[in-house]
Structure 1
């Protein structure tokens, strides 16, 4: 019951504090993009992330901070919950997220998101969507932003995976940037579509940057997948079947 009440209070916070703040961000046309990014991330880190910890009991620990490059990079991460879309900004350098264009139409949240550095994908564009990621991503990286992309394309439960799409790797190759893999277990405490959040410590592991010069996107993507899935199995073996191969973790149903 206590977890339910805490989760209910968190839902009220999101509706009556977080979403109105997103609406305010949509009106900040007088700010430059970097000023807006800095303002939003400072507010988010001081308020929303503190609510995660103090109200929901969700803490986090980062290993591999030394692997964060000094220059803009492409971060390819597991996607298990809404937690990482809000928390990564506290320990990663300024970054744009890759998101579906339709998300920008969501009242308040989407309106605010549209004012941030973002790479949008038009799903109706088919193969041209990949070119959108590369073009927009390179432009933002030239302005000093890194890019965060979830190569599996959707949220997955801990202990499962989906096919890794090569869009993030293609951007890294086109930009001549490092591809940095990121593993975490946020879904253990913040399950997809679950109202009740579980208290606990999320572990985020940032891997060594993968060089892209002279390599194909497919090669880079395969190395990213191998590192992330191997790290997930190493850190969270209790979420995988004992008989599961280290190279082949459980895969979600399509």
Structure 2
């Protein structure tokens, strides 16, 4: 039965993005129009996850979301957070590898909604792209979402936190909002299957951009996120087994 539910979810995902794509192109002619259309797609998928798969989520710390645009630095365990963060936070753009832009419909949509695309094979160029495009998005009124570890990691694993988010925070004078989550325990990396349950998202108090150097800001962010990961881990079928 779960396999059938997942097949239905993927069918909804594929058909909805193709059907909505022409409307996104038209909406892109208006300020923030493409984002509003993309939000419809996000809501369709989040509804499908909740009501078809049975995968829900709860948010702890929503009161910590500031009024002004900030840098969202989140744990990255699955594709789930790329959808859910758009529903939890105000309009935002992601930092992503620009190879994703080549994926039909999905990648084209990322390009249209002004995703910050970087070339991860060229560190210097990636930093320049991050700063140039990030400043443009800030000036357009968007929040910026970044996964500081750079890639999805299985539950219980900890990657190297890169300084890109802190660098943008300092340069653009935007505070950092740290986010912990345990999505990978229900939606494993590169898995066709998603599993029912309740994902926990924890939002921390903003870290002021003027409260330290780039390294100090990211250290604060990392320490807070990893402490929360320990607290919320162990809830789903793919949680890291205790040794």
Normalising by structure 2, we get a TM-score of: 0.92
**1:31 and 2:29 are equivalent in the alignment:** yes
Structure 2: how far apart are the matches of 1:25 and 1:122?
29
Q: For 1:107, which of 95, 104, 127 is the aligned residue?
A: 104
Structure 1: how far apart are the matches of 2:134 and 2:19?
26
**1:134 and 2:135 are equivalent in the alignment:** no
**1:166 and 2:179 are equivalent in the alignment:** no
Aligned-residue offset at 1:28:
2.2
Structure 2: how far apart are the matches of 1:110 and 1:197?
22
Q: For 2:181, which of 157, 178, 184 is the aligned residue?
A: 184
Match of 1:15 in 2: 14
SS of equivalent residue, structure 1 residue 110: helix
Structure 1: how far apart are the matches of 2:11 and 2:41?
18
SS of equivalent residue, structure 1 residue 148: strand
Match of 2:65 in 1: 68
Gaps of 5+ in 2: none
Aligned-residue offset at 1:237:
5.3
Structure 2: how far apart are the matches of 1:219 and 1:136?
24
Q: Is the 8 A contact 1:22 1:112 kept in 2?
A: no
* Deviates further, 112-121 or 23-32: 23-32
**1:5 and 2:13 are equivalent in the alignment:** no
**1:219 and 2:216 are equivalent in the alignment:** yes
* Deviates further, 91-100 or 26-35: 26-35
Match of 2:204 in 1: 207
Match of 1:82 in 2: 79
Match of 1:55 in 2: 52
Q: Is the 8 A contact 2:72 2:179 kept in 1?
A: yes
Cα gap change, 1:6 to 1:48, in 2 (>3 Å)? same
Q: Is the 8 A contact 1:178 1:210 kept in 2?
A: yes
**1:42 and 2:40 are equivalent in the alignment:** yes
SS of equivalent residue, structure 2 residue 5: helix
Q: Root-mean-square deviation (CA), in Å?
A: 1.8
SS of equivalent residue, structure 1 residue 59: strand
Structure 2: how far apart are the matches of 1:202 and 1:180?
19
Structure 2: how far apart are the matches of 1:237 and 1:56?
20
Match of 1:250 in 2: none
Normalising by structure 1, we get a TM-score of: 0.88
Q: Is the 8 A contact 1:25 1:115 kept in 2?
A: no
* Deviates further, 177-186 or 119-128: 119-128
Structure 2: how far apart are the matches of 1:25 and 1:88?
23
Aligned-residue offset at 1:59:
0.5
